[in-house]
Amino acid sequence: MQISSRFTIATHMMIIIAMQDTDSKVTSDFLAASVGVNPVIIRKTLSQLKKAGLISVARGTGGTEIIKDLQDISLLDVYQAVECLGKSGKLFSFHDNPNPNCPIGANIHAVLDQKLFDVQAAMENQLRQTSLAQVVADAQNKLSK
């Protein structure tokens, strides 16, 4: 199983929006061409980023812009805006019916729950420590070489 690509798509989009010339408008078609996905996916992601208060989106061909300082947006903010962790908020979901009559099945939660919680907390902490400004700077450095 692989974690969805929503987060990397959203981050790709945010970098483009941040780096776009103010005279140019960032549209869903423009973003879709760069990301390589259907514009419908882009529009859904834009909606999620807007709902999270990270961007503004003008209807039609008005374009998109980031409405917070790049330093104040962490990768965790982007991740939380687009990833659907459900009501549990957990990255890892458990299979529904471990066999309670099996020694492992009866104890699997006790064995894994804390470890999986720790893994998710470490990932979220790392994302929290990385700002969109840092990622945009990395992209600008790559482009200048």
Provide the domain count of the chain: 1
The answer to whether 142 and 15 are in contact (CB under 8 A) is no
In a domain, 43, yes or no: yes
In a domain, 64, yes or no: yes
Whole-model pTM?
0.87
In a domain, 1, yes or no: no
Q: Can you give the residue range of the structural domain that contains 21?
A: 6-144
The answer to whether 27 and 95 are in contact (CB under 8 A) is no
Return the DSSP state at 74. B
At residue 102, the 3 state secondary structure works out as coil
In a domain, 73, yes or no: yes
CATH number at residue 29: 1.10.10.10
- Per residue of the chain (145 residues), what is the pLDDT tens digit? 457 799 999 999 999 999 987 677 888 899 999 999 999 999 999 999 999 999 998 876 667 899 999 999 999 999 999 987 766 778 888 888 899 999 999 999 999 999 999 999 999 999 999 999 999 999 999 999 8
The answer to whether 84 and 140 are in contact (CB under 8 A) is no
In a domain, 96, yes or no: yes
